[in-house]
Amino acid sequence: MENTILLVAMGFLSVTIFFCLVRAILGPRMTDRLVAVNIISIEGVVLILLFGAYLHDNQFMDIALVYTLLSFLAVVCLARNMLARAAKKEKEGTHGTV
Amino acid sequence: MGQFRLIAGTVFIVAGLFIFGVAVMGLFRLRYVLNRVHVAAKCDSLAIMLVCIGLMFYAGDPGSILKLLLITAFVWLANPVASHLICKIEVETNDHLEDECEVEELP
Amino acid sequence: MPILLFALWLLFHERLTIDVIITGVIAVALVTLFLRAFAGWSVQRDMQFASRALAFLLFVIRLIWEVLKANINVIGIVLSDEPERKINPVIVRHKTGLRTSIGRVALANSITLTPGTVTVDVGDDCVYVHALDVRSCEGLDNNPLEKQLENMERGL
């Protein structure tokens, strides 16, 4: 009973991750993609946790914890990179007009 | 495993998955990025809390419960920061911001 | 702080044997020395934080309640038909009396987590907030969370 519930939950999560991926590919702006990637990473954490419960293995919780840290870092790095790029572009633009 | 723990855990996990589904629906139904960030930021933080509570009922031993609490706390700390950065980028790079929302005052 | 770090170490190991305790004590001592040298850690500051632990716990409970309300709100908006036509997004400037940086960070995070509002930028004495709906930023002006944070700061 418990295993069936967990399997169905994992299947549902996989479907939502697929739709997030569609959004990440379609997204007209870069920030759309970042939002989608953020959701995908959190759903990935939940997927790892559910899989750990399905296998009755406590080690998966450590993996999920580290994955949370890494996914957060990934989003922050991408965001900082894009901010720096935007600032650079703005500087060049004003320089060009002046 | 007791019947009560099974039912309680299932209820919480199904609620969390429902909220994840709403978050993904919101990604498709809302058109502007700043509105999408709302759905992503809020639904994710509540959904991960609900799923973690459900898994606490399933697992039952104190080590796992504390670890799940730690994961929830970390996501609650990190998720607002990520969505805040996304908003900042959007405000700084979008040229047509006034079409999407009323701007009272900009940083 | 060292006690918390040691508890975290034991939590990651999930067993209590002599080798885990010895390596844990060494690691915690190293991290504490590092914090004292580079991050300004001291016993007095730990005591100050500990004295406000209860207020912080109340704040967290209140925050969870607000997050629940926020989610019901956002889910209602998403599931209604034609969601973009009903809402009226706006960016506003919100003045805050919080002085310490930790207080402002906590305020920004809790604003992002509560009904229909996301922090866009944090200034010296104000935060810029994007609200999903004009109605949701009316509650921003006297929200109980900010009062609780101010009380916590006064105890500092």
Prediction pTM value = 0.81
The per-residue pLDDT for range C105-153, each reduced to its tens digit, is: 777 777 777 666 777 777 666 667 777 666 666 666 666 666 666 666 6
Instruction: Give the CATH number, domain containing residue A32.
Output: 1.10.287
Do B89 and A61 lie within an 8 Å CB cutoff? no
At C113 the pLDDT is 72
3-state secondary structure A26-43: HCCCHHHHHHHHHHHHHH
Which residues 65-94 in chain B show a CB within 8 A of chain C? 66-67, 70, 76-77, 80-81, 83-84, 87-88, 91
Contacts of residue A34, defined as CB under 8 A and 6 or more positions apart, other chains included, come to A75, A78, A79, A82, B86, B89
Domain segments of chain C as ranges: 2-47, 52-154
Q: What per-residue confidence (pLDDT) applies to A84?
A: 83
- Nearest by Cα to A22 from A12, A32, A13: A32
Q: How many whole angstroms separate alpha carbon B54 and alpha carbon B19?
A: 14
Domain ranges in chain B? 3-96
Kindly state whether B41 is in contact with chain C, defined as any CB-CB distance less than 8 angstroms.
Answer: yes
How far A96 CA lies from chain B's nearest CA (Å)? 18
Domain count, chain A: 1
Could you say which residues of chain A have pLDDT below 50?
96-98
Question: C residues 100-139 near B, CB within 8 Å?
Answer: 108-109, 112-113, 116, 118-121, 123, 128, 130, 132
Judge whether C9 and C28 are in contact, CB under 8 Å.
Answer: yes
* Coil vs helix vs strand at C73: helix
d(CA A44, CA A64): 8
Strand C90-95: give its sheet, edge to edge: B102-103, C90-95, C126-131, C117-122
Angle at B19 between CA C147 and CA B28, to 5 degrees: 105
**What does pLDDT average to in each consecutive run of 10 residues of chain B (107 residues)?**
82 88 82 76 82 85 84 85 80 67 59
What confidence score (pLDDT) does residue B21 get?
Answer: 87
Q: What is the structure's pLDDT at C88? A: 66
Here the ipTM equals: 0.82
Mapped onto helix, strand or coil, the DSSP state of residue C83 is helix
Give pLDDT tens digits for C21-48: 888 888 888 888 888 777 767 777 777 7
A75 touches B85 (CB < 8 A): yes
Select from B22, B88, B77 the least CA-distant residue to A65. Answer: B77
Residue in chain A nearest B30 by alpha carbon: A32
Quick one: how many helices (H) and strands (E) in chain C? 7, 3
**CA distance linking residue C44 with residue C62, whole number of Å:** 28
Bridge partners, residue B102, by sequence: C90
C contacts of B81 (beta carbons < 8 Å)? 109
Q: Which residue has the tokens 């009396």?
A: C97
